[in-house]
Structure 1
Amino acid sequence: MGTTPGGTSPAGTTPEVERDAEFQEHEKILSPDFLSVAQITDLQAEDAGGVQEKLGTFLNFKNLQTCLKDAILLDYYASGFLWARGMDFSIIQYSKFMTLLDMLLHNLRTLHMSLEGNIKWLGEVMAEIGPTHSQKSEEWNIFDVKQANAIIDYLKISLFQHYKLYEFLFYSTREEIVIGTEAVRRSCFLTFRLLFLLGFAT
């Protein structure tokens, strides 16, 4: 077996090319496109009801009165934003956190990622945007140790604890549209919300 020439990788790429590829990969991690700076700033000025209302507009949820899925997803994002407010995040931290919430749902809904797979993905992402002792990665560090641990704890008692319910929400063979009175829709929504809140009590 021949040896790899110095200064190149086994694939024949140079260290400089590998560093460029690594930088581009980091640039893709939690791209701050989910909510704009203007939208985050606007939401910061709102109370809980205003956050939910404006997020519904920003995320183009048009069927909140009849679609249980839209109502639950809006609650997922609004609850996350309000939790982040309690953490006193900066704008960039809000941006990364909200995009993290969206990517976790994308993994579940589009990639059909298992709970174990999504937890592993989260660990890999937090290793990139969380605290590190590597000087070359300082520009990518967004959260300190306390914040990173808090984010993981929040996800444990929100999305991850109720993963099966979210899987049902996305994978159900029939459209989860509640046709009927507002009382019926509210009852179904509050049932899911109660299950979510129980996570905070455990």
Structure 2
Amino acid sequence: MATVSLGTTPGGTTPVGTTPGVNTPDSEKNDEFQEHEKILSPDFLSTAQITDLLTEDVDGIQEKLRIFLNFKNLHTHLKDAIILDYYVSGFMWAKGMDFSVTQYSKFMTLLDMLLHNLRTLHMSLEDSIKWFGEVMAEIGPRHSQKKKEWNIFDVKQANAIIDYLKISLFQHYKLYEFMFYSTREEIVIGTEVGKMIPNIFQIHMERERQNFLRMKMTQ
């Protein structure tokens, strides 16, 4: 394995006043900050994409996210329709929370990584909740008591995110697992769980949208 020489310039010389291989308090602080910056990185949506989506209504958000996710025909692809609703509902919920662009970015990336952990890494519900808790400890208020400049969400926002993930993902975790891990034939021909998937997700997503609309009307 090749070794990397620390403390040297591209020309191979060491800048005056520094010692190779020795960590100063400032360098340790910088390393810690860089590690923190890796939390929920890379971003699922860019700043420009988030800013653009904020100008749209729910139909516009759905269409632009559909294009971004490269979903072709939602009428014949139940899985794609459910995944799209997952992201759209999350974005609409965040819109109701009046997040900053940075908070939108971290929240949408959090949604994406939770789905990735389930879909690709086959993470169990227990492991997913544990991972989620560790991430919230980094970006939420408990961590910010030590590093206030790293605060992304305050206590109220962090609790709201936890509550939202409980009802939007964790409560339906087994259904997501069935959707991702079962073959298409099992869902089409299939079991009682397969028959439940469309109805449960449609009811849930419609409820989320109605809650958002009611909240906007009272503002």
The alpha carbon displacement at 1:131 in A equals: 1.1
Aligned partners of 2:146 and 2:32: how far apart in 1?
11
> Which among 181, 186, 190 is matched to residue 171 of structure 1?
181
**For residue 10 of structure 1, what is the aligned residue in structure 2?**
none
For 1:53-202, what aligned pairs fall within 5 Å after superposition? 53-132=63-142, 137-174=147-184, 189-195=198-204
Q: Give secondary structure in 2 for the equivalent of 1:107.
A: helix
Larger Rg: 2
Is the contact between residue 129 and residue 141 of structure 1 (CA under 8 Å) also seen in structure 2?
A: yes
CA distance in 1, matches of 2:133, 2:180: 23
Task: State which drifts further: 146-155 or 121-130.
Answer: 121-130
Give me the whole-angstrom Cα distance separating, in 1, the residues matched to 2:63 and 2:24: 49
Give the deviation of 1:111 after TM superposition.
1.2
> Structure 1 vs Structure 2: percent identity of aligned residues?
75
Identify if the C-alpha distance between structure 1 residues 84 and 176 changes in structure 2 by more than 3 Å, giving closer, same or farther: farther
Instruction: Output the CA distance in 1 between the equivalents of 2:162 and 2:41.
Output: 19
Is contact 1:132-1:138 (8 Å) kept? Answer: no
Structure-1-length-normalised TM-score: 0.78
Compare 118-127 and 18-27 and name the one that shifted more: 18-27
> Is the alpha carbon distance of 1:137 and 1:49 closer, same or farther for their aligned partners in structure 2, counting shifts above 3 Å?
same
Aligned residues: 182
Unaligned 5+ segments in structure 2 are 1-21, 189-195, 212-219
TM score, norm. by length of structure 2: 0.72
Separation in 1 of the partners of 2:134 and 2:54? 29
Deviation (angstroms), 1:175: 6.3
- In structure 1, give the amino acid aligned to 2:203: L
8 Å contact kept, 1:130–1:143: yes
Q: How many angstroms apart in 2 are the aligned matches of 1:193 and 1:51?
A: 18
Question: Match of 1:34, as an amino acid?
Answer: F
Q: Conserved in 2, the CA contact under 8 Å of 1:56 and 1:74?
A: yes
Cα shift readout 1:26-75 (whole Å, capped 9, x = no counterpart): 22211252111111111111111111111111222223232111000000
| Deviation readout 1:54-98 (Å, 9 max, x if unpaired) | 111122222323211100000000000000000001100111000
Counterpart Cα distance in 2 of 1:57 and 1:168: 25
SS in 2 for 1:132: helix
Change in CA separation of 1:133 and 1:103 when aligned onto 2, cut-off 3 Å: closer
- Give the Å deviation of 1:138: 2.1
Which residue of 2 is the match for residue 183 of structure 1? none
**1:23 equivalenced with 2:33 (yes/no):** yes
Alpha-carbon RMSD across the aligned residues, in angstroms, is 3.0
Deviation of 1:173 after TM superposition, in Å, equals: 2.7
